[in-house]
Amino acid sequence: MTAPEAWGPARTRAVTWHDPAAAAQQGLAMGGMDYLRAIIDGVLPPPPIAGLIQMGLASAEPGTAVFTCTPDESAYKPIGAVHGGLVCTLLDSVAGCALHSTLPQGRGYTSVEIKVNYLRPVRSTSGLLTATGSVVKAGSRVAFTEGVVTDASGATVATATSTLLVFDLP
């Protein structure tokens, strides 16, 4: 089936990534902060999802993480705005990495739940999105984090709270 002419020319975007298993294996020998710094410094590759939604880990300090993302229309839903799933993924990433920055070698985490509040639409004209995550409470088994996403103008577009399970890695 060919697309109707009214749709205009097809657009494409290439996505590339490196083997995530190799980076994860190297990460087992590092504490969380060292692992995040290795990604920021280009010593380890970013996870594949980063290339897919065009986000990057911009900075990390113990208890905080910052990602940036410049969404384009490839992330649009039918009504002409960026899909909320992209924003939720940013928030889930900063929430998890904020916690990861506090974990010692041999400890990992997974999201248990995330609650997102979408405050304004995001479009390709919104410019650079900045997502900042911070640890609210890091327990030995359960942790609580929060995140905020702002657009290029500094307006808050979404917020989130997250609960994460902390566990020993193999």
**68 domain-assigned:** yes
In the predicted model, is pLDDT for residue 2 greater than 90?
A: no
Q: Is residue 12 part of a domain?
A: no
Q: What percent of the chain has pLDDT over 70?
A: 99
154, burial (CB in 10 Å: exposed 0-12, middle 13-18, buried 19+): exposed
Mean pLDDT, the chain, rounded, equals 96
Q: Please tell me the predicted confidence (pLDDT) of residue 108.
A: 96
Confidence band, pLDDT 50/70/90 cuts, at residue 1? low
* Total domains present in the chain: 1
Number of H helices, E strands in the chain: 4, 6
Per-residue pLDDT reduced to its tens digit, 38-62: 999 999 999 999 999 999 999 999 9
Instruction: Give the CATH number of the domain where residue 54 resides.
Output: 3.10.129.10
Contacts with 8 (C-beta within 8 Å, 6 or more apart), sequence order:
none
Q: 81 is in which domain, residue-wise?
A: 20-168
